[in-house]
Amino acid sequence: MGIYRDRVLPRLQDKVMDHPDNRELRARVCAGLSGEVVEIGFGTGLNLPHYPATVTRIAAVEPSQKCVRIAQPRIAESSVPVSIVGVSGESLALPSAAYDAAVSTWTLCTISDVEAALSEIRRVLRPGGRFHFVEHGHAPDASVARWQRRIEPVWKRVAGGCRVSRPIGELIERAGLRLERLDTFYQDREPRVFGYTFEGVATKA
């Protein structure tokens, strides 16, 4: 699985996660951002075209060196300076209360200790800082949720550790972030087991 995870999967994700529906969601998530932003799970830089001019700097956290290499042309074209600042969302090598916003797009599902990652996001945000996110997770329909639990052990191996059954809204609130807005829906043209989506903004009190 090492070659697949390290070399093949990043290229697959770069293609699969760049379809028009996801671009629309990325644009919505990035709307309203300003100042210094930390992006957890930077991936191949697919959010970069959607950052508004009000963002002054992006601190990118990404564990995959291959993803960072694929992202280089997008970083070079970006009008916003990007710095790769770490590989682990669970332990950010960043100062506390230093960032105006944090961003996560389809990332919390892959982090082993998601509670630690959310705690770190809260730590690095300034008071009043905002966490913008879109994630897939635990569906409210019992039959879909059952299938999510059934496929998750295999899906984690295929999709880089992705867990489709996490209750994203609850996890964010338990981390001490206040949900300012949360929209939940099944994403069009996605299998329901993967497509139940949490999109919103949370703030640090």
Q: What is the pLDDT of residues 9-41, one digit of tens each?
A: 999 999 999 999 999 999 999 999 999 999 999
Q: Is the Cα torsion angle 81, 125, 183, 113 positive or negative in sign?
A: positive
Q: What is the pLDDT of residue 5?
A: 86
CA angle 29, 104, 47 (to 5 degrees): 60
Q: Phi and psi of 99, rounded to 5°?
A: -120, 145
Q: What is the pTM of this model?
A: 0.96
What is the structure's pLDDT at 3? 86
Report domain extents, the chain. 2-204
- CA dist., res. 68 & res. 49, Å (int): 16
With tokens 């043209």, the residue in question is 189
Q: Please, which residues have CB within 8 angstroms of residue 19's CB and are 6 or more apart in sequence? A: none
Task: Say whether pLDDT at 1 is over 80.
Answer: no
Number of residues written out for the chain? 205
The CATH homologous superfamily for domain 2-204 is Vaccinia Virus protein VP39 (3.40.50.150)
% of the chain with per-residue pLDDT over 70: 100
